[in-house]
C-alpha cells in the first residue's frame, strides 16, 4: 500500500496514541512459554504479564486492568471471578474444553471466549492408547517388578487387543483418531455419538450404536465426549450395570462424564476389570488442600474428591495427571493458536470463538 508522507505519520501517531492491550497469563510456569509469547506479541505492542499460578476469586482484583487473559483448565472462570475483571474483553483458553468458563456470565459482560479446538487430536488419542496398552499388558506392574529385581511372570498375563471390541463414546476430533489407531490393532469398533458422521462408517469397519449397546458389548470403553450439563455423569450408577463384565474403561476427556461412585462400585464388583484415567471428577480439589482444611468445600464435592483419592490407591486403576495433551508438538501448537486467536480478536475477526 502507498502512503503519502503525512498520512503515514498520522497513522503512526494514531497507533502510538492507542492504549496498549494488557494481557495477563495464568498457569504459565515454563520459561519457553513466556519467551514464545514475548517474541510473538510484545513487538505488536501488547503489554504482557505472566503468572505461574491460577486466577482465582481471591486474586482476581489484582488483574482488573487486564483487557485479555490467557488461562488453562485449572482457572475456574465463574461469574464472581469475571465480575472482578472490569476491563476484560477476551478470554483465550489454552485448551479445547471450555467447561471451566461460565460462558453465560462471560457473554453477559461482553467478554469473547476463544479456545484451541484442534492442536492434538492424535496427541490425546495416543495417550488413550498408552493407557489401554498399559492396562492390557500390565506395563506399570511389569516395570515396577523388574525395577525391584524380580523377573517372575506370575500375575502379569495380559490380553490381546486384536479382535476385541472398542467402544468410542464421542467420535469427534479425538475419538476418530482413537478409531484409526484401533483399526491398526485390528479391533472391532463401535461408536456412540448423538451426531454421527456417517462417512466414518464408510471409512472404517465401524458401527454407530446406542450408548446402552456400546456399554454392553465393548471390551474397551473410551470416552471422548465434551463435558457439560448434558453429558454430566453420562456413565452413572443407573447404567454402569450394563457394562460388559470384565471390560476396561478409559477416560481422557473429562472426569465429570463418569460418576465416581459408580466407577468405584464397578471396580469393586469386578464389572470393570481395570480403569485408565487422565481426568478425575474433582481433580482440581485434590491439589487444593487449603480448601479441605478450611472446610469451604461442598459436602458432595468433598465426597467425590475423597472417592478420587480412593481410586488413586487401587491396583487396577491407572491415573495420569491430566497429561494427555502434553506432548512437545502439541504444546507448541497450543501456544501458536493462542497467538492467532489474540491477533484475530484484536483485528475484530472471529477465530475459534466459542462465545461472544
Ligand atoms: N486430557 C486432555 O489433556 C484433553 C485434551 C484435549 C481434549 N480433552 C477433552 O476431550 C474432549 C473431546 O475433544 P474433541 O477435540 O474430540 O472434541 P470434539 O468436539 O471434536 O468431539 C466431541 C464429540 O463428542 C460428541 N458428543 C457430544 N455429546 C455427546 C454425548 N452426549 N455422548 C457422546 N458423544 C457426544 C460430539 O458430537 C463430537 O463428535 C474435549 O471436550 C475435552 O474435554 C482432554
- 208 pLDDT band (50/70/90 cuts)? very high
Each residue of 184-197: pLDDT tens digit? 999 999 999 999 99
Q: Which residue is associated with the grid cell 493407557?
A: 131
Question: Where do the domains of the chain lie?
Answer: 5-119+329-355, 121-323
The CATH number that domain 5-119+329-355 falls under is 3.40.50.720
Pocket test of ligand 1: the residue of 172, 197, 221, 250 to mutate, having most ligand atoms within 8 Å of its CB, is 172
- pLDDT score recorded for residue 12: 53
Pocket test of ligand 1: the residue of 93, 95, 96 to mutate, having most ligand atoms within 8 Å of its CB, is 96
Q: How many CB atoms lie within 10 A of CB 22?
A: 16
- Pocket flag, ligand 1, residue 173 (CB < 6 Å): yes
Cell reading at 271: 464389572
From 121, 254, 259, 288, active-site residue: 254
CATH 3.40.50.720 is held by the domain 121-323: yes
- pLDDT score recorded for residue 150: 97
- 9 pLDDT band (50/70/90 cuts)? low
**Mean pLDDT across the stretch 237-265?**
97
Please tell me the pTM assigned to this model: 0.87
3 state DSSP class of 352:
coil
Burial class (CB in 10 A: 0-12, 13-18, 19+), 180: middle
Q: Answer whether 5-119+329-355 and 121-323 agree in fold.
A: yes
pLDDT of 290 over the 50 cut: no
Q: How far is the CA of 126 from the centre of ligand 1 (A)?
A: 15
Strand partners, 254: none
Amino acid at each position: 500500500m502507498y502512503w503519502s508522507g503525512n498520512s503515514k505519520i498520522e497513522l503512526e501517531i494514531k497507533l502510538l496514541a492507542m492504549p496498549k492491550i494488557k494481557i495477563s497469563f495464568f498457569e504459565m510456569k515454563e520459561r519457553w512459554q513466556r519467551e514464545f509469547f514475548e517474541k510473538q506479541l510484545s513487538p505488536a505492542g501488547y503489554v504482557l504479564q505472566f503468572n505461574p499460578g491460577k486466577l482465582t476469586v481471591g486474586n482476581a482484583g489484582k488483574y482488573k486492568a487486564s483487557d485479555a487473559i490467557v488461562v488453562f483448565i485449572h482457572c475456574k472462570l465463574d461469574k464472581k471471578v469475571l465480575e472482578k475483571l472490569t476491563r476484560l474483553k477476551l478470554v483465550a483458553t489454552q485448551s479445547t474444553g471450555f467447561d471451566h468458563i461460565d460462558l453465560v456470565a462471560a457473554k453477559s459482560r461482553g467478554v469473547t471466549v476463544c479456545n484451541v479446538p484442534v492442536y492434538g487430536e492424535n496427541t490425546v488419542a495416543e495417550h488413550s492408547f498408552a493407557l489401554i496398552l498399559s492396562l492390557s499388558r500390565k506395563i506399570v506392574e511389569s516395570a515396577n517388578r523388574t525395577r525391584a529385581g524380580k523377573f517372575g511372570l506370575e500375575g502379569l498375563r495380559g490380553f490381546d487387543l486384536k479382535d476385541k471390541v472398542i467402544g468410542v463414546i464421542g467420535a469427534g476430533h479425538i475419538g476418530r483418531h482413537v478409531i484409526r489407531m484401533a483399526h491398526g490393532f485390528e479391533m472391532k469398533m463401535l461408536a456412540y455419538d448423538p451426531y454421527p458422521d456417517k462417512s466414518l462408517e464408510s471409512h472404517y469397519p465401524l458401527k454407530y450404536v446406542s450408548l446402552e449397546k456400546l456399554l454392553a458389548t465393548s471390551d474397551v470403553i473410551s470416552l471422548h465426549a465434551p463435558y457439560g450439563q448434558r453429558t454430566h455423569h453420562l456413565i452413572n450408577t443407573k447404567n454402569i450395570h450394563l457394562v460388559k463384565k470384565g471390560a476396561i474403561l478409559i477416560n481422557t476427556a473429562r472426569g465429570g462424564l463418569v460418576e465416581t461412585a459408580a466407577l468405584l462400585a464397578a471396580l469393586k464388583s469386578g464389572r470393570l476389570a481395570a480403569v485408565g484415567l487422565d481426568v478425575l471428577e474433582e481433580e482440581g480439589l485434590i491439589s487444593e488442600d487449603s480448601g479441605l482444611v478450611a472446610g469451604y468445600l461442598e459436602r458432595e464435592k468433598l465426597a467425590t474428591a475423597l472417592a478420587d483419592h480412593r481410586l488413586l490407591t487401587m491396583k487396577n486403576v491407572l491415573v495420569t495427571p491430566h497429561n494427555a495433551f502434553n506432548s512437545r508438538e502439541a504444546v507448541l501448537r497450543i501456544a501458536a493458536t493462542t497467538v492467532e486467536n489474540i491477533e484475530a480478536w484484536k483485528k475484530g475477526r472471529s477465530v475459534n470463538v466459542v462465545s461472544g
